[in-house]
Structure 1
Amino acid sequence: MDKLNRFFWFCSGAHIPTLEKYPSEQNKYTGIGATIFFTGLFAALSGGYAMYFVFKGDDLAIIFAIVFGLLWGAAIFNMDRYIVSSINKSATTNKQLLQATPRILLAIMIGIVISRPIELKIFDKEIKERLKVSYLNGQRAKIDTLNKVFENKYQVEFGRLNQQKATRDSLEKGIKSDRQKLNFEIFGNKTTETSGVMGYGPYAKRKEAEIKQREADLDSLKTNIGKSETFIDKRKQFDGLFTEKLFTAKQQDSLANIAGFADRNWALGQLKFNADGTRDNNTALAVTFIGLLFIFFECLPVFVKLMSSRGPYDFATADGDEVAIYQSKKDKDFEIEVADNIHETRVDSESTKRKEILKGKAYRDLEKHDWDQE
């Protein structure tokens, strides 16, 4: 337990030799350090999970996820440790709040970043179902778009085919009606267009000849329709429309399993809405509160440091900082004084040396003058 406490003290950014002198402060910094440690741990798991989906399918995906997770967790841990340890408890309340404001904003951003991959894992099943629907709708929209583009490309051919089909339907309907009238004439049914006399008379023979001619025209028209449809089918095959099909259930499962981080993140946002576009308040609240939980967890060490009263450890560290500042200033002043003395000594030495040189030169000039006189 002693080693564990010292580890959490290190996580809190406390000065361990000073903290050991004040037992009443140790539990507070153990709690702060534990919160920072577990925040870094969650960050490592979150970052590793996110990176795993980035490289999913690669043989080294797990190794990449572990390495990035450790680096990301260490970065968040170091940042949290700095945020908490940099709050100066010797300052006034307003100044502490001012100091903590950017740190709280940074903690909120870190909480959002950490919570998102964990939310993806919590709602993994629902995300996969939403992705399946999305992929199926996307494939259907793709096929519809391709067909629309194809129809626009061969608009003349489709227009001719549709006209032929309309003529075929009209002929089939007319032949069916005429065949019924012929039967009425043969069997003696009295109508406005039949004589009512039973038998195969001249009218019946003429009507049957007309029907046969129209059936021949219909067969020729059907042959032309078949040729037009064959041409369009070949063009569809050439343009690749036959290869585009709706995904099967197995294909949907496969696509959902290999979905990347961006697709899963999009699907998580779509969970807040029902299929008809209305808002799903239950899921939206669940996603929101999970994010808020991690944000609060990330901000908790800062709040604990702000809410705690100034204890003996804070006084001791503040006094130590003032002593260090005073000693540093004193050492600096002493260095400046020593430098000034060295400079003055050097100047005096150079002045004395210059005087001696001038004195020796004057003496040599005097001797030379005496020698010239002699």
Structure 2
Amino acid sequence: MNAISRFFWFCSGAHLSTLEKHPTEHNKYIGIGATIFFTGLFAALSGGYAMYFVFKGDSGAVFFALFFGLIWGLAIFNMDRYIVSSINKNASTNKQILQATPRILLAIMIGVVISRPLELKIFDKEIKERLKVSYLNNQRSKIDTLNAAFENKYRIEMGKLNESKAQKDTMASAIKADRQKLNFEIFGNKTEETSGIMGYGPYAKRKEAELKQREQELDTLTASVRSQEAFVAGRKEFDGLMTEKLYTGKQLDSLTSLAGFADRNWALGQLSFNRDGTRDTSTYLAVTFIGLLFIFFECLPVFVKLMSSRGPYDRSVENTEETQVYESDKDKDYETAVIDGVHDTRVHTEIEKRKHKLYEQ
């Protein structure tokens, strides 16, 4: 426990030898140091997770994630430790707030940075579902764009093909209707266009000859349509339209698992909105409060230092600093006197007064 306490004292940026003399201050600085330590730990996890997605798929992804996470966590830890230890509790309240303001702003920025990757992990399932929808919509839009560009490029050929298809369908329908009339004539079915006399007479023979000629024309037109379709299909394959298809479920799962940090970050932002563009209040509040939680956690060491009262440790630090300043001034005055060759008793008297005053404090 003593080793753990000293470790957290070190994390708080306190002067260990001075803090040991004041047992009533031990728990306060253990709390401050633990907060700074866990902030750095969360920063390491966040940075490592983000870097893992940057190098995902690479054989060294885990190594880069561990290395960057360690460096990033140590950087945030050192910065937080400096921020907290640099607040002077011996100054006035207004001055302390003024000192802490830029540090709080910096802590907010750090909180935003370290919270984002952890939010990505928390909403991992929802992000994957949103990415699947996005990838599917993008692929559908890509196919529509390619088809529109192809139809614009081969407008004349597509027009001829559609015209030939329409002509073929009209001719096939007419031949089918005339074939039915011929059957009625042969089997003696009475209609407005048939005689009603059963048999294969001159009228039936003439109609059958006409039908055979029209069927030959239909066969020629059908061959022409197939030739045009083969040309269009060849052009589509050449332009890459035949290879573009909507993603299957397995393909979407593979794409989402390989999604990079930018895509996942975009999807996290889109979770706050429904598909119709309206805001999803519940998800928006969840994402917001998680981010605010990490921001508050990052600012917590500064708030704890500001809210804590001026204790005996702070007074000891102030006296130690003043003593060091006194010793420095004394050495400087002595060197000046030696250089000038003058032993000024007034300087010596003034130094002794200051020394006596510090000892009384």
Describe the shift of the 1:210–1:339 C-alpha distance in structure 2 as closer, same or farther (beyond 3 A). Answer: farther
* 1:177-196 correspondence to structure 2 within 5 Å: 177-196=177-196
Shift of 1:96: 1.5
Describe the shift of the 1:321–1:199 C-alpha distance in structure 2 as closer, same or farther (beyond 3 A). Answer: same
2:253 matches 1:230? no
The equivalent of 2:208 in structure 1 is: 208
Separation in 1, partners of 2:318, 2:331: 20
The equivalent of 2:3 in structure 1 is: 3
Letter matched to residue 263 of structure 1? D
The equivalent of 1:260 in structure 2 is: 260
Separation in 2, partners of 1:66, 1:336: 55
Separation in 1, partners of 2:127, 2:339: 71
The root-mean-square deviation of aligned C-alpha atoms, in Å, is 2.1
Separation in 2, partners of 1:168, 1:72: 71
Shift of 1:260: 1.5
Describe the shift of the 1:195–1:339 C-alpha distance in structure 2 as closer, same or farther (beyond 3 A). Answer: farther
Separation in 2, partners of 1:255, 1:341: 83
Moved more, 32-41 or 270-279: 270-279
The equivalent of 2:359 in structure 1 is: none
2:298 matches 1:305? no
Describe the shift of the 1:205–1:89 C-alpha distance in structure 2 as closer, same or farther (beyond 3 A). Answer: same
* 1:56-205 correspondence to structure 2 within 5 Å: 56-205=56-205
Shift of 1:101: 1.2
Shift of 1:232: 1.4
DSSP 3-state at the match of 1:321 = helix
The equivalent of 1:239 in structure 2 is: 239
The equivalent of 1:327 in structure 2 is: 327
Describe the shift of the 1:186–1:96 C-alpha distance in structure 2 as closer, same or farther (beyond 3 A). Answer: same
Question: Deviations 1:231-273 (Å, cap 9, x if unpaired)?
Answer: 1112222223222233222222222222211122122222223
List runs of 5+ in structure 1 lacking aligned partners: 343-374
DSSP 3-state at the match of 1:221 = helix
The equivalent of 1:33 in structure 2 is: 33
Letter matched to residue 259 of structure 1? A
The equivalent of 1:285 in structure 2 is: 285
Separation in 1, partners of 2:331, 2:202: 136
Letter matched to residue 250 of structure 1? K
TM score, norm. by length of structure 2: 0.87
Separation in 1, partners of 2:204, 2:270: 70
The equivalent of 2:350 in structure 1 is: none
Letter matched to residue 117 of structure 1? P
- Report % sequence identity: 74
Which has the higher Rg, Structure 1 or Structure 2? 1
Describe the shift of the 1:188–1:35 C-alpha distance in structure 2 as closer, same or farther (beyond 3 A). Answer: same
Shift of 1:73: 0.4
Describe the shift of the 1:178–1:333 C-alpha distance in structure 2 as closer, same or farther (beyond 3 A). Answer: farther
Separation in 2, partners of 1:88, 1:54: 41
The equivalent of 2:349 in structure 1 is: none
Separation in 2, partners of 1:265, 1:195: 80
Separation in 2, partners of 1:241, 1:148: 11
Separation in 1, partners of 2:246, 2:333: 82
Shift of 1:200: 4.2
Shift of 1:201: 4.4
Letter matched to residue 275 of structure 1? R
Separation in 1, partners of 2:338, 2:143: 87
Shift of 1:196: 4.8
Moved more, 206-215 or 50-59: 206-215
Shift of 1:67: 1.0
Letter matched to residue 99 of structure 1? Q
